[in-house]
């Protein structure tokens, strides 16, 4: 079956005016093929949500991540409702109020829903002022309450709103992963490119180096490198250092892909044809080699993303990565590792759900990209 046919969803669509595969570039064909991968589209949508969370963290979260609520310490998640205890339907969602109750067995103070109080949730309410994108001063939040408070994911032992913190943590977690992947990408493409293009002993040397790096057990290495970091470094320096550590170890995978794709495409007839047409080496690389494996690199990057994300989470969880007051999912989970937390505030593990969702989303997208990466394959 030819390419056109494999892409055409049906005869009807095939004849539709906008569907012109004969005029479609590589990226358009990839998009058409990608679009047919349902899970990848779901992953794509989830990544869109995460992106929005990083861009609009202050707007989405009802409170600043550092703002305590002394009257709701270690409070459980508050569930927004549309139907009240009598079965009446409310057009505006609300949360029940909260009252402190002493548990007569453990003698600890716990929070319980107070059904006599209903706090309606309002959208685009005014709250703590902040600067959107660090520039535009505003005080609009996506949602909030006029009276009382709302803590969707509950609060921690110091009374910080977990929802707001999780949303803010997306920024650091994905940021580290993004920077890590970018640095790995550049390193991998450059080193793999050198190995594949020059070949010979250079190739041999780089391949052995990669094998050596990959043979080092990663966790102890991270621990060692992270332990080398001075404790008195500020959050930003730690952030950069962690990113660099992850990137320095992550490039090998990409370098291998670049090298093998380069070796494979270098012997394609169309590359030889370009050479016999009088193309210079630079032009062959730019016009023929690079475009034909760039899509594979993007696939690899999308698969490397969750690895670096998980690495950051693991390091921070172990207390060796990012630290308070920087918020990342790993940092938030670090707070959830005590028996006390699991017993008294299990909702502190909610950031872990975000980690799982993000990793799955990247894997779905990576899967879809892998299928779409070679739109010229016949299947």
Partner 1 sequence: MTTETASRPQAAEGPSATALLTVKNLSVRFPTRTKGFFAKPAGYVSAVDHVSFEIARGETLGLVGESGSGKTTLGLAVLRGVEPTAGTVELAAGGGTLAVTSLDKQALRRSRHHMQMIFQDPYASLNPRMTVRDIVSEPLIAGAGDWGRLSRRQIDDRVLDIAVKCGLSKDQLKRFPHAFSGGQRQRIAIARALVLNPALVVCDEPISSLDVSIQAQILNLLADLQESLGLTYLFIAHDLAAVAYVCNRVAVMYLGKIVEVGTTRQVYYKPKHPYTEALMSAVPEPDPDAPRRPILLTGERPDPANPPSGCRFRTRCIYATALCAERVPPLRDLADGHMVACHHADQLKLRGALDFAGSERQEATDDRF
Partner 2 sequence: MMIAPIDTPVLSVRGLSIALDTRDGHAVPITQDVSFDIARGEVLALVGESGSGKSVTALALMQLLGANLKVARGEIALHTQDGFRADVAKLGARGKGIEAIRGARMGMIFQEPMSSFSPIHTIGQQIAEVVTVHEDVGRKAARARAAELLGKVGIPDPVGALDRYPSEFSGGMRQRAMIARALICGPSLLIADEPTTALDVTIQGQILELLRSLQRDLGMAILFITHDLGIVAQMADRVAVMYSGRIIESAPVRDIFRRPAHPYTRALLDAVPRLGDIDRGRRIRPIAGSVPNIFDVPPGCRFHPRCPVAVLPRCAELQPPRYASGRHEVECVHGEKVLA
Backbone angles phi, psi at 90, to 5 degrees: -105, 140
Asked if residue 146 binds partner 2 (CB under 8 A), the reply is: no
**For residue 190, with 0-12 CB atoms within 10 Å meaning exposed, 13-18 middle and 19 or more buried, which class applies?**
middle
Q: Does 4 bind partner 2 (CB under 8 A)?
A: yes
CB of 144 to partner 1, least distance (A): 51
- Closer CB to partner 1, 108 or 208, in the complex: 208
What is the distance between the alpha carbons of residues 49 and 43, in angstroms, rounded to a whole number?
10
Residue 26 in contact with partner 1, rule: CB under 8 A: yes
Taking the least distance from each CB to partner 2, the nearer of 4 and 73 is: 4
# chain residues binding partner 1, by CB under 8 A: 30
d(CA 199, CA 193): 10
Nearer to partner 2, 36 or 171 (CB): 36
Q: In what order do the strands lie in the sheet with 81-83?
A: 81-83, 89-102, 109-132, 136-145
Q: Does 236 bind partner 1 (CB under 8 A)?
A: no
Identify which of residues 178 and 209 has a Cβ nearer to partner 1 in the complex. 209
Q: Is 275 in the site for partner 2 (CB under 8 A)?
A: no
| Position 267 contacts partner 2 (CB under 8 A) | no
CB 77 within 8 A of CB 151: yes
> Which residue in 73, 7, 67, 64 sits closest to 371, CA to CA?
7
- For residue 358, which of 176, 184, 219 has the smallest C-alpha distance? 176
Q: Return the residue of 272, 342, 353, 356 that touches partner 1, per CB under 8 A.
A: 272
Residue spans of alpha helices (H) in 124-161: none
CB of 275 to partner 1, least distance (A): 7
Binding site for partner 1 (CB under 8 A): 2-4, 21-26, 29, 204, 208, 268-270, 272-280, 283, 287-288, 291-292, 376
Binding site for partner 2 (CB under 8 A): 1-2, 4-5, 8-11, 14, 36
């Amino acid at each position: 079956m030819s390419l056109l046919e494999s892409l055409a969803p049906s005869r009807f669509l095939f004849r539709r005016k906008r569907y012109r595969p004969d005029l479609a570039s590589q990226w358009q064909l990839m998009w058409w093929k990608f679009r047919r991968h349902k899970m990848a589209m779901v992953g794509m949508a989830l990544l869109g949500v995460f992106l929005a969370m990083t861009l609009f963290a202050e707007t989405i979260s009802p409170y600043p991540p550092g703002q305590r609520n002394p009257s709701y310490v270690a409070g459980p998640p508050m569930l927004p409702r549309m139907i009240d205890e009598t079965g009446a339907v409310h057009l505006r969602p609300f949360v029940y109020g909260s009252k402190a109750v002493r548990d007569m067995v453990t003698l600890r103070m716990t929070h319980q829903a107070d059904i006599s109080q209903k706090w309606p949730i309002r959208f685009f309410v005014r709250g703590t002022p902040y600067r959107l994108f660090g520039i535009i001063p505003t005080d609009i939040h996506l949602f909030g309450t006029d009276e009382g408070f709302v803590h969707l994911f509950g609060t921690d032992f110091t009374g910080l709103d977990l929802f707001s913190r999780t949303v803010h943590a997306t920024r650091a977690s994905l940021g580290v992963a993004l920077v890590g992947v970018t640095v790995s990408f550049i390193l991998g493409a450059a080193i793999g490119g050198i190995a594949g293009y020059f070949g010979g002993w250079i190739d041999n040397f780089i391949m052995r180096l990669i094998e050596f790096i990959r043979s080092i057990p990663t966790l102890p290495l991270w621990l060692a490198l992270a332990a080398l970091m001075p404790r008195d470094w500020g959050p930003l320096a730690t952030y950069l250092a962690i990113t660099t550590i992850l990137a320095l170890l992550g490039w090998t995978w990409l370098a291998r892909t670049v090298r093998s794709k380069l070796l494979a495409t270098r012997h394609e007839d169309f590359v030889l044809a370009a050479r016999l047409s009088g193309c210079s080496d630079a032009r062959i690389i730019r016009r023929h080699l690079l475009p034909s494996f760039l899509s594979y690199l993007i696939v690899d990057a999308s698969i490397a993303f969750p690895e670096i994300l998980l690495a950051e989470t693991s390091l921070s969880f172990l207390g060796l990565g990012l630290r308070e007051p920087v918020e990342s999912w790993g940092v938030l989970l670090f707070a959830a590792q005590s028996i006390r937390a699991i017993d008294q505030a299990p909702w502190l593990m909610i950031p872990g759900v975000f980690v799982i969702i993000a990793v799955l989303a990247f894997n779905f997208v990576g899967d879809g990209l892998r299928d779409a990466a070679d739109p010229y394959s016949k299947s």
